[in-house]
Amino acid sequence: MTKSFFALLMAQFLSAFADNAVLFTMITIVIHSPDNPQWYVPALQSAFLIAFVVLAPWSGYVADRFAKSQVLLLANFVKAFGCVLLLCEVEPLFAYGIVGMGAAIYSPAKYGILPELVESDNLVKANSWIEGSTILAILLGMIIGAKVAEASTNIALGGAVGLFLLSALIACYLPKYRCDYLTDVRPSLSEFFRQIMHFFMQPLACFVIFSGALFWAVAATLRVILVGWAPVVLKLNTASDIAQLTLFLAIGIIIGSSVVSKLITLKNLSRVGFAAYGMALSIISLSFTDVMLYAQLILLFTGIMGGVFIVPINAALQNIGVNDIGTGHAVAIQGFFQNVAMLLALSIYSYAVAQSLSPIAAMLSLGVVFFVAVLALTLYHFYVNKPIYKQHL
């Protein structure tokens, strides 16, 4: 791993830390404000995710057309601007949507730059480092952000602005490679959907895209369900207490991300199915417990399975992209489907909450739906479409 890779690692850590500090600052505001209804937290998440869907046709082009280090710089400035709007008491749904725009620009460049910094044989390992450090940043951002926000939301948001700017400064030291073979491509909706159709001509690409979308839909929904589930089942009533509960989920993902390169390579990608089943069964078992220790252990195991599942999926996508439509475009397509899936899942959950669905029933339903979806996906791609796991990467 090169010095440039570790610079990327630090820039990503700071940016992800600030992202989650902002989110839990907003959750703290919602919890302590009697005027905000229960659906406001999933609405905030939706405002963040909409930017990924809307900007997907252009974010991949920007990541591949310009130096990805400069794109990371721009994205951090946009995130910082969104935080400044929150400090100015602009409507949170709008301001947090601006932060989402920065994240949407950031994501294709963050993952797309990896094949430029490491060899293809090290992509799974590099992704494990990125995922592990990102989850650590999420973990610390949630806990520290929530604690600081309970003392002062202005200090929490001001600190996030500083971290985004520091991440932007580090991005300045990354290599400034440009993708010359895409200079004749112009971003548009028609071109974006043409690339999707071309990308989906490869069975492995379909599996990777839909697996990633399924994982993030479940992860986003689980995160929001925990905000309503923990007070009812475990009697946790503050944002910092809930953040500490999700600590075990985050630690699990770090563990899973750190060991996955020894268990799964791009040539035996079919093994990710076992991790997905384990994650689904863990979520189902979580709905049957009301003991803190058991909940913590189950969330730890859920995170381990999630890390083992998603890291090889990301590595496979980058490897396909760098040899086909460009990694930035490939990650943008992945981001489009992931965020459409997350928006759909959160919308269904928000509607269910509005119809008085209990958090326990929501947790059980999430696990069952995830298990059935993984079963259908793996049966089709690894048995009906057998050449997929024999395809050369």
Total tally of structural domains belonging to the chain: 1
What does the alpha-carbon distance between residue 359 and residue 45 come to, in Å, rounded to a whole number? 18
| pLDDT confidence tier of residue 264, bands split at 50, 70 and 90 | confident
Q: Is residue 182 part of a domain?
A: no
Q: Is residue 311 part of a domain?
A: yes
Q: Is residue 59 part of a domain?
A: yes
Q: Is residue 245 part of a domain?
A: yes
Q: Is residue 83 part of a domain?
A: yes
Nearest in space to 86 (alpha carbons), one of 172, 164, 142, 169: 164
pLDDT of residue 278: 92
pLDDT of residue 390: 47
Between 201-205, 255-259, 277-281, the lowest mean confidence (pLDDT) is in: 201-205
CATH number of the structural domain spanning residue 77: 1.20.1250.20
Structure letter (DSSP) for residue 380: I
One-letter amino acid of 380: Y
| pLDDT confidence tier of residue 183, bands split at 50, 70 and 90 | very low
pLDDT in tens, 218-246: 988 888 888 888 888 888 877 677 777 87
What does the alpha-carbon distance between residue 375 and residue 83 come to, in Å, rounded to a whole number? 41
The tokens of 260 are what?
């996955």
Element holding 334 (H helix, E strand): helix 327-354
Residue 385 has pLDDT above 60, yes or no: no
How far is CA 94 from its chain centroid?
20
Question: Could you tell me where the DSSP H helices lie in 264-326?
Answer: 272-286, 292-322
By residue range, what is the domain housing residue 111? 3-174+187-390
pLDDT of residue 161: 93
pLDDT of residue 29: 77
pLDDT of residue 188: 66
Q: Is residue 180 part of a domain?
A: no
pLDDT of residue 386: 54
pLDDT in tens, 11-37: 889 998 998 888 888 877 777 776 666
CB 7 within 8 A of CB 17: no
| pLDDT confidence tier of residue 134, bands split at 50, 70 and 90 | confident
pLDDT of residue 383: 59
Q: What is the pTM of this model?
A: 0.70
Nearest in space to 80 (alpha carbons), one of 146, 8, 168: 168
Nearest in space to 55 (alpha carbons), one of 174, 220, 189: 189
Question: Could you tell me where the DSSP H helices lie in 66-122?
Answer: 68-87, 92-112, 114-117
Share of the chain above pLDDT 90, in %: 15
